[in-house]
Amino acid sequence: METNEGHRQRLRDKFTNNGLDSFHDHEILELLLFYAIPRRNTNGIAHELIKAFGSLSDVLDAPIEKLKTVDGIGDNAATLLKLIPQLARRYSMSKGSFDNILDTTQRSGDYILPFFLSQRDEVVLLVCLDSKNKVLNAQIIHRGSVNSTDISLRKILETAFTYNATKVILAHNHPSGIALPSVEDIETTKYIRDALKILSIKLVDHIIVADGDFVSMADTNLI
């Protein structure tokens, strides 16, 4: 009978030689859990995770406390699982370096999408640009609805001034919906646009993100 360490080495070799393309979802979890659960067979735990949550993405998106209800998943394992989607987001953001020129809607959307990977709540992103559409800064400025009074125009202006932006792109996600702007989104966008215009800062676009897709309010003539 193969020892646990022998099985682990075989799975590590499979990854080293072929990457993850040949792996089943439970095998990916099994391999990942090697590094949080050193002395236990993680194959059964991986199967239980898939059974409990339904898919690899659902496992990685699950809250820490729910992950810990699965036998064998403690603090270390739950933290490691939650690290993966956020690491993927930061990786994608890093790949889109700040040398980007966002002079088309497609480039803007491609640049913005990674910021919303695995975001379970609504967040608001502000991208600051110079006069040539080069990215000066991009950061999440608010967690919650873009239409909330909590997202103040002051925060947008302060961020734009900090980076000497002459143009900005606003983006937010619809975690449980589709990438179409609501009436409130449109009204809020026009309010922000008009306030920025007074200070000679152009709102280039407001992009709505949902399920890996995006809609440009500029392209649909809503701003």
One digit per residue, the tens of pLDDT, for the chain of length 223 reads 345 788 999 999 999 998 998 899 999 999 999 999 988 899 999 999 999 999 999 999 999 999 999 999 999 999 999 999 889 878 877 765 556 899 999 999 999 999 998 788 899 999 999 999 999 999 999 887 776 645 678 889 999 999 999 999 999 999 878 888 889 899 999 999 999 999 999 999 999 999 889 999 999 888 8
Domain boundaries, the chain: 4-93, 97-216
What is the structure's pLDDT at 3? 58
List, in sequence order, the alpha helices (H) in the chain.
4-18, 25-33, 42-53, 56-61, 64-67, 75-95, 105-112, 153-162, 183-198
CATH number of the structural domain 97-216: 3.40.140.10
Q: Under a CB-based contact definition with an 8 Å cutoff, are residues 67 and 81 in contact?
A: yes
Cα 70 versus chain centre, distance: 25
What is the structure's pLDDT at 173? 93
Task: Note the pTM of the prediction, 2 decimals.
Answer: 0.67
What is the structure's pLDDT at 14? 93
Bridge partners of 126, per DSSP, are 139, 170
Structure tokens at 140: 């999440």
What is the structure's pLDDT at 1? 37
Place of tokens 């202006």: 157
Cα 122 versus chain centre, distance: 11
CA distance 20 to 90: 20
CA distance 93 to 47: 31
